[in-house]
């Protein structure tokens, strides 16, 4: 009887495992919407790890710039990866580039894709309009994912009829170097969708972590309030920005101080994130606006990208 029971348990267990894996979708064909730094990085890594990619943006000029950036990034990766074999490096670059096609018409390419990853402007209305349109043309099995770092995934998913096949897939900049991916599961995201995205992240050589649909997910929810608390410390005159940066680098072992990081990320980006959170939870002391940040953003001193933020940049 014990033998029969063991056999039955093994049988049920193996069939359950097979059933679970059968439910997951192998995501091989990927459409990336947005040819900016994040979208191009996602497209590059997906193509380099054996996926077929279509990169979509509004104009051919933007896409040409994106492809050029991808090629330059790939050559840096290849030079390091195949240091002793220049021929293999060239083959790697050419093979990866051949896996990336481009289009200015998202609706015409999503009918044959397994996954749509959106990496466009952080504007809920714009994202909702995009996904509402794509929802009409994408295949039934196609999973939609947003790379948003600050908006609620549920609010974007609600613009579609596939809330069960919608999740957050938050990569970090620069995508080819940063190992982390946050996979965001809303209350409506199916287990099948969630597991398929976990597997997809791993197939890209990334380390996925999961999080509920909470403001900022994991990294930004901890990082942005830390950055703003550094600004408040400076605003109160408790310490200079230089000493705060030095203290966090030498005392906490951080590679960059908070003001250096703010300038790198972009003061406008940080303010946009914090403003969105403040709108959602105005009473939260962590989400309160900063007068000096507001002033610098209004003066278009956004950090490295404009040449000046908390520091001046050449």
C-alpha 66/C-alpha 273 separation (Å) is 25
State how far the Cα of 260 lies from the Cα of 223, in Å rounded to an integer.
13
Q: Tell whether residue 57 is among the known ligand binding residues.
A: yes
| Alpha carbon of residue 29 to chain centroid | 18
Give me the catalytic one of 147, 150, 182, 201: 182
* Close Cβ partners of 2 (under 8 Å, ≥ 6 residues apart): none
Query: Is 240 marked active-site?
Result: no
Centre a 10 Å sphere on the Cβ of residue 79 and count the other Cβ atoms it contains. 12
Other Cβ atoms within 10 Å of 124 Cβ, number? 15
51 is catalytic: no
| 305 annotated to a ligand binding site | yes
The neighbouring-strand residues paired with 182 are 170, 209
Check if 182 is active-site: yes
Of these residues, 66, 99, 220, 290, which one is catalytic?
Answer: 220
Catalytic, out of 66, 99, 147, 149: 149
The answer on whether 34 is annotated among ligand-binding residues is yes
> Is 95 annotated as contributing to ligand binding?
no
State yes or no: 300 annotated in a binding site: no
β-bridge pairing 29-33 and 180-185? unpaired
Q: Does 36 count as an annotated binding residue?
A: yes
28 is in an annotated binding site: no
Question: According to the annotation, is 39 in a ligand binding site?
Answer: yes
**Residue 68, annotated as binding a ligand:** no
Q: Is 295 annotated as a binding residue?
A: no
Q: Which of 146, 170, 196, 260 is an active site residue?
A: 170
Distance CA(226)–CA(236), nearest Å, equals 16
The reply to whether 149 belongs to the active site is: yes
Q: Which residues are catalytic?
A: 149, 170, 182, 220
Residues of the binding site: 34-39, 57, 73, 80, 122, 127, 149, 173, 305
Residues of the binding site for NAD(+): 34-39, 57, 122, 127, 149, 173, 305
Residues of the binding site for CoA: 73, 80, 149
């Amino acid at each position: 009887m014990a033998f029969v029971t063991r056999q039955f348990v093994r049988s049920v267990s193996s069939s359950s495992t097979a059933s679970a894996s059968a439910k997951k979708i192998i995501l091989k064909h990927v459409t990336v919407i947005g040819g900016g730094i994040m979208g191009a990085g996602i497209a590059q890594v997906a193509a380099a790890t054996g996926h077929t990619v279509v990169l979509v943006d509004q104009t051919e000029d933007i896409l040409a710039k994106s492809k050029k950036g991808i090629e330059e990034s790939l050559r840096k990766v290849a030079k390091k990866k195949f240091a002793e074999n220049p021929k293999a490096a060239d083959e790697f670059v050419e093979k990866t580039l051949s896996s990336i096609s481009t289009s200015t018409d998202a609706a015409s390419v999503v009918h044959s894709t397994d996954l749509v990853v959106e990496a466009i402007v952080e504007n809920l209305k714009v994202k909702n309009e995009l996904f509402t349109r794509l929802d009409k043309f994408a295949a039934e099995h196609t999973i939609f994912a947003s790379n948003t770092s600050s908006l609620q995934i549920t609010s974007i998913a609600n613009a579609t009829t596939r809330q069960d096949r919608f999740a957050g897939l938050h990569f970090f900049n620069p995508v080819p170097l940063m190992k982390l991916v946050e996979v965001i599961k809303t209350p409506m995201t199916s287990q099948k969708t969630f597991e398929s995205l976990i597997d997809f992240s791993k197939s890209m050589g990334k380390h996925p972590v999961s999080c509920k649909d909470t403001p900022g997910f994991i990294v930004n929810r901890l990082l942005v309030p830390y950055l703003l608390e550094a600004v408040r410390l400076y605003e109160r005159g408790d310490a200079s920005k230089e000493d705060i940066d030095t203290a966090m680098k030498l005392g906490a072992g951080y590679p960059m101080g908070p003001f250096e990081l703010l300038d790198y990320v972009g003061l406008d980006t940080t303010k946009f994130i914090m403003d969105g959170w403040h709108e959602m939870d105005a009473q939260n002391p962590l989400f309160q606006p900063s007068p000096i940040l507001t002033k610098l953003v209004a003066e278009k001193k956004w950090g490295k990208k404009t040449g000046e933020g908390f520091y001046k940049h050449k």
